[in-house]
Amino acid sequence: MKLRLMLWLLGLMLKRALRRKPGFRQALSEARRLDWGIATEDLSIARHFRMSPEGIEAGAGLPVDLDLELRFDDEATAVRVLRKPTQQAFLDGMMAGKVRLVGDSSDLKKLQKLLKQL
34-74 pLDDT, tens digit per residue, is 999 999 999 999 999 999 999 999 999 999 999 999 999 99
Q: What pTM, to 2 d.p., does this model score?
A: 0.89
Give the pLDDT confidence score for residue 46 in this predicted structure.
Answer: 96
11-35 pLDDT, tens digit per residue, is 999 999 999 999 999 999 988 899 9
Fold that domain 2-116 belongs to in CATH: Nonspecific Lipid-transfer Protein; Chain A (3.30.1050)
Per domain, the residue ranges of the chain are: 2-116
Give the pLDDT confidence score for residue 105 in this predicted structure.
Answer: 84
Three-class SS of residue 15? helix
Structural contact between residues 71 and 111, judged by C-beta atoms closer than 8 angstroms: no
Give the pLDDT confidence score for residue 37 in this predicted structure.
Answer: 96
88 forms beta bridges with none
Positive or negative: CA dihedral 23, 27, 29, 30: positive
